[in-house]
Structure 1
């Protein structure tokens, strides 16, 4: 099996690279991934992998049927881009203004197509079925693409026993992955606070209720949620990312809008922070003679890995990369739509090291200059392949043991 996988990887690796570069050059935003979906379907057809469509508009499900009965493993890749103007100068830099694969979804898709090709080459040896889940709109929080995929029946006929996903990670060097049991990514919520006062001339503030001053007080007071309202051992991040209001230098604003995000791991902590957010915003505004209206958007839930399947990922990675390939990591408070799947099915989400050889050139995810080390593509392709194989055999062995 291992030799067959290696041989197939050597054949498909150049195409994985080319697919990644093509998708990077022609990115599409969430919900608009028509050409990307077509490419996925064309490649699956060329690999002789049956597939289904009609999920979340552009989603695709590839199906690799093993030659022996067994369990069902799902592997997921997302394929939408971000509304960012790329600042790189590669030959395959995005040709679409203000659209860029700044989160590596082009690589995710290319690697899953490569894994699908390899698995299809060894399918007669596989005890079970592998689902290749190509998902749109991961970046479209709080709706996302995972839930619409499931609502549209992506797993209606083929129900996974376990699901796996990977994400490129610029903080880790090539040859390492990030995996842990339990929390891997955080609850990712956002909110809008509209502060309403009464405007007027800048020279006569006593005739007004200054919405800018009230909003500023709210911004400052909200920081006490993390520093004074919650257990300091609980991970919480509250950020006001946008403040919008006012007309000109000599007009006191009557309305100011604040937009921000709240990140947590534990749902209990999230609910406590959410309650304080409402209470502080409303009370501070009232004290200033203004009014604050909070609109809260529950986003992606925390991505929580099953211990059993996280351990399988770790052992599979160590077999290929050595023990140094799975360093101890801390979870991230970044949000991830894969969490929707893990609410319904056991599984694991891991990070694939893609750091550039020159670390000083490395930009973070969602940066206009983000780039990844393409040496990681073969590693990620092989890793997804082997995880699926190992998981199928684990499920088969468990069935033997139970019987």
Structure 2
């Protein structure tokens, strides 16, 4: 552990510089060209083998240890959000309407820092460590993880275990959030276009008010959670955008509703989706209107593998102390890492990054989001620790199996 700390301390300034450089030059999903180039240049500078071209801008770093063993993958996402930053620090975004408001700049920097340390530790590595730099995490419902897998990111090296780490502003620096199973929710999107018949505000009987119909739909959709979903289970239906109307004295003929559905369990997701369609279609019929539904199945729920969640927790406690892994509730925010977990066992981890003035901490996806850079070297050290601990577990697990078969 002291050696890991020394290695990370030696490049602490690099990690912060990389994060700030990325923060100043954010790129949206599937546009991470400059970010991808920086990652490849840094991997080369650290002497780490890499491959590229996965999901367009994705990069895979490969560290083969000197000892035989398993394969552990560490993932960081690279894309930013279409948000105008309102912060005033010296490294604010230079790209109008784009901002790293979800911490992916920090994720990329921390994984590069971990890669440097792991490359120096090759003599002690039992197996292979993969550094997965993923594009388009914010591009729900498509995302970059499935595209990377389809492009063969794991064809040559198949992970036995995969970990993802995400900055978490509600946790103070030095704490890590890890749950045994549910971490984050399934996230679907929808767009409904309600088509009625417009007219003059003084003669409503001549029209068919799409705004009134939409209002009825919105109210009825809330009954899905309150009356169709078991109160002990989780579901949220949110209308985030309404657009319609022309003037104060005109009955609108068309209104567009956009929103999201969040759930954990697949069966709850399907129930909510089924009731959603029924309510929209039958409400439109009742008002003699039309409704076009575009429902997009998004990321599945992020469900940790209990065995590797336990490993991640033990590594965090070894590094940061027994009080570093508080009990936490899951979040219904969506995460593209979930698709990796559908194929490979592993765990998703929240890294505490709360700023010193916690009362003014802005949440993820806020135009004023900031993180505490003191957490960055901790995040890099933790990635090294959990990767090494997991390889050791896999090694001794295999040796134990060998002894059983031999006897």
Please confirm whether the aligned pair reaches a TM-score higher than 0.5, indicating the same fold.
yes
Q: Distance in 1 between matches of 2:122 and 2:170?
A: 35
Deviation at 1:50, TM superposition (A): 0.4
8 Å contact 1:177–1:317 — kept in the other structure?
yes
Deviation at 1:396, TM superposition (A): 0.2
Match of 1:12 in 2: 11
Number of aligned residue pairs: 402
Q: TM-score, normalised by structure 2?
A: 0.98
Structure 2: gaps (5+ residues): 403-407
Q: Distance in 1 between matches of 2:56 and 2:354?
A: 33
Q: TM-score, normalised by structure 1?
A: 0.99
Deviation at 1:295, TM superposition (A): 1.5
In the alignment, is residue 126 of structure 1 matched against residue 106 of structure 2?
no
After the TM superposition, which residues 4-403 of structure 1 pair with which residues of structure 2 at under 5 Å, given as runs?
4-403=3-402
Q: Distance in 1 between matches of 2:207 and 2:146?
A: 46
Q: Distance in 2 between matches of 1:400 and 1:153?
A: 29
8 Å contact 1:22–1:92 — kept in the other structure?
yes
Q: Which runs of 4+ in 1 moved over 3 A?
A: none
Deviation at 1:68, TM superposition (A): 0.4
Partner SS for 2:309: helix
1:82-108 Cα shifts (integer Å, max 9, x gaps): 000000011100011010000000000
1:298-339 Cα shifts (integer Å, max 9, x gaps): 000000000000000101101111121000000000000000
Q: Distance in 1 between matches of 2:245 and 2:170?
A: 39
Q: Distance in 2 between matches of 1:229 and 1:313?
A: 36
Deviation at 1:194, TM superposition (A): 1.3
Deviation at 1:360, TM superposition (A): 1.7
Q: Distance in 1 between matches of 2:3 and 2:374?
A: 21
| RMSD of aligned alpha carbons | 0.7
Partner SS for 1:15: helix
8 Å contact 1:4–1:122 — kept in the other structure?
no
8 Å contact 1:196–1:255 — kept in the other structure?
yes
Partner SS for 1:92: coil
280-289 or 106-115: bigger deviation: 280-289
Q: Distance in 2 between matches of 1:284 and 1:32?
A: 40
Q: Distance in 1 between matches of 2:92 and 2:323?
A: 33
